[in-house]
Chain A
Amino acid sequence: MNPTEQLIRRKFQEYYLSLDKDLYLPPHPEEREYGFLLFKEKFMVRHRGFRESGALLKAVKDLAPAHVYFSTAYYQDPTASMDQKGWLGADLVFDIDADHLDTPCKIAHDDWKCKGCGAIGKGSAPKICPKCKNDRMEVTAWLCDRCLQEAKEETIGLLEMIFSDLQLGQANLRVYFSGHRGYHVHLYSEAFRTLGEEQRRELVNYLLGQGLDPELQGMEEVSEGGVSILRGPQWGDPGWRGRIVRGIYEVLTKEGTNLGLSANQLNVLRAWDKDNLFSKPFWSSLKGINTATWRNIVQRAIEEGAAKIDTVVTTDVHRLIRLPGTLNGHTGLLGVDVPLEELDEFDPFRESLAFSGIMRIKVKDSPRFGLGGNQFGPYQNEEVELPSYAAMLLLCKRRAEPVG
């Protein structure tokens, strides 16, 4: 461990030792596997089992790990090796992460470096290196208000889709802030527990609108009196039918003029009765949009309505995922169990702070950032005294080092 890691680990341990309440445990804690990523050599301790919160907290206090995980899966014997565990089922889990969102601020605060040729750039890492075509990138991501706000909005969109399409109740659903760049949604449901990877992939495709055939969702071209007109579902139809209509309306009213609508057509559209959006006059008022443009508009409407989840997390039925109430080693912030009714107001930059007191550190470079209601930076090669939570963020992000 280098001095920075030693300091972070010491602070993490102090935090856990000072905890006077039990750690949060997911339902059926005894059927789950737990894992700890240690600071020392980034070693992963896996296949651990705990029956109750006290024993888990004791392990966390002893190990002072950088990350604490639990399995979304339930096992007969969680401590056995992978093929001996006896898989019983897994929670349905969705991950929304700013890494997968295209926020305009990334260009200002994210950098990437190609592991192949060393090329560097700003913003989201490209899929493949423009220089050497390598696909392995090292990303330095900052966490900013805007990204997290967008992640929260996506999460709220996902929840709406879950409630309206996938299930009725809210009772067995929990939302966790990851302590870094996103949110996890866990569905603890008996009925969904035993779904395999294939079935979960279908759910992912549904939420993303991937492979959606507009014709099978009711968009059709019919010929009436020799004129070909479009027909479609209604605004309030369930599932993707209604979602497409609402998306199309959104796209057209936002960018209608770019898509070939006249000012007059736009006015007609804006005054339109939404409950009957796809009746014939609606379409006849939109003459002049060719089929290719339509296809484009529908595709945009699908993107508009999709929930941008990370596909891998949902389809993996053996996944280890962060335990809320523990520290995230990437930031020094806490993973937080956010009650649904408080999600709207939840401010991750105030409600995930773990460290109090003041620390003196040497900052290499840091953009301006807000945390705990205060603004900090930017800093460039300077020694500063900061509230511990801010200092820990910079240390965890490797933007700063201990003094002396």
Chain B
Amino acid sequence: MLTRADLAKYPFLSEASEYVRELGLSVEELSAPEFSPVLDRAERRLEEALSKGRVSRDITNESSEILSFPVSNLILSLVGEERARRRFALAESKRAYELLRQEDPEKLQYIASTTFTWKVKRLDLKLGKRFYEFALGLPDFLHNSVHLREPRWNLPNRVIDHGFVYVTRDEAARLMEEEVRTKILERSGRTPDEVPKLLGSRVERVRGLVIKWLGVQTKYELPKVPLPEAMPPCVRHLIDSLDEGKNVQHMGRFTLASFLLNIGTGEEDVVKLFKPATDFSERMTRYQVEHIGGKRGGRTKYTCPMCTTLKTHGVCYKPDEICETIRNPLSYYKTKSRTLTLKGPKREPN
């Protein structure tokens, strides 16, 4: 089914790993001059990902294309920079998507059902304006679709038939992109048993590239004193409602308390906020706030609910542009307080 050219296009395939394994090369053996194109390509993959967010698709040398991919992952795991790992996974998966969407359906089905172990059926069905070529197993669809935000990826907007979700060819490729991204992220996160000496200089060079393109990682710490201006609209609305003596329902109260505690607000200050509530009981409120903070009961410190949950419960309020980019009110706070305190957004190469 697959040719060597296919393995060069999709070096994340099980068959590609098998091909590399069969060559039985150790990292030390890669230092031989004839393998320098492999190491060069491995480094270039990373540089392309870091600089452009895309890995090039032209294949000149099939074996170095196949062999370089695991080396890139190895280097990345040695560099140990999460930002770089994410960026590489994204760039490689975008490359895969561009190639996959042009592939013929048999090959797509083959790859999805072998390397990804998805349940895949072929379809040939036009419903309304859409032409469905595949049906994917519901769990396989869900594991990947939840990362995608357009309404068409929401399950209620899909056609599901006996545990299979209908998708177009392009959608299948898009979901495979997600699977590739997750797989690469996992792979580059494994720490190798030993650090191959040969790669030392390459690793250093990639460290330099990370700094060049992503900047020095400013370990950004949240402001010591909570910044009200950096709070998301929903939280500010909750505070205003309480202040005006309006009733705030359970999910709203929980959101507010967990949000404030997570950004470092003192328990006393949180308790005080609830004072205007009609049914305020200082003892109960303190107990609950301490519970959410992890000092009581199950001793779990609760984090703030996700935006999707807040939408379901009607706590989400007038979402703004930052809301479009985040999934949890705490990320909103992180993003906005960084902008406010660092004066201007962090440099994000595109």
Contacts and interface: CB of A to CB of B under 8 A. Distances in A.
Contact of B157 (A135, A194, A212): A212
Interface stretch (A66-74, A162-170, A267-275): A162-170
B128 A239 contact: no
A311 interface: yes
Nearest to A200: B142
B156 interface: yes
B250 interface: yes
A320 to B, nearest CB: 13
Contacts of B161: 164-165, 238-239
Nearest to B253: A135
A165 B160 contact: yes
A102 interface: no
Interface in B92-135: 127-129
B308 A201 contact: yes
A217 B157 contact: yes
A192 B142 CA distance: 10
B347 interface: no
B257 to A, nearest CB: 15
A208 B137 CA distance: 20
A133 B156 contact: no
Contacts of A311: 312
A134 B279 contact: yes
B163 A213 contact: no
A203 B157 contact: no
Contacts of B137: 191
Interface in B219-246: 246
B143 A199 contact: yes
B278 A135 contact: no
A206 B160 contact: yes
A25 B321 CA distance: 51
Q: In the complex, which of the residues B142, B306, B309 has the most CB atoms of chain A within 10 Å of its own CB atom? A: B142
Contacts of A164: 161-162
Interface stretch (B38-46, B68-76, B147-155, B195-203): B147-155
Given A166-B138, A216-B152, A202 B157 contact: no
Chain A, interface residues (CB within 8 Å), range: 35 or more
B56 interface: no
Nearest to A92: B139
B243 to A, nearest CB: 15
B157 A128 contact: no
A239 B298 contact: no
A358 B290 CA distance: 49
A82 B298 CA distance: 8
Contacts of A218: 127-128
A115 B250 CA distance: 13
B154 A166 contact: no
A115 B279 CA distance: 9
A239 B159 contact: yes
Interface string B159-170: 111110010000
B158 interface: yes
A116 interface: yes
Nearest to B151: A213
A70 B70 CA distance: 44
A129 B154 CA distance: 34
Contacts of B166: 238
Contacts of B142: 195, 199, 202-203
Given A163-B162, A192-B138, A199-B143, 14 more contacts: A116-B278, A132-B247, A133-B246, A167-B138, A194-B139, A202-B154, A202-B155, A216-B157, A231-B128, A237-B159, A238-B159, A238-B161, A238-B166, A241-B127
28 contacts: A82-B298, A115-B279, A116-B279, A132-B278, A133-B246, A134-B247, A134-B279, A136-B279, A165-B163, A167-B138, A192-B139, A194-B139, A195-B143, A198-B146, A201-B309, A202-B145, A205-B155, A209-B156, A211-B154, A213-B151, A213-B156, A213-B157, A216-B157, A217-B157, A233-B128, A238-B161, A239-B158, A239-B161
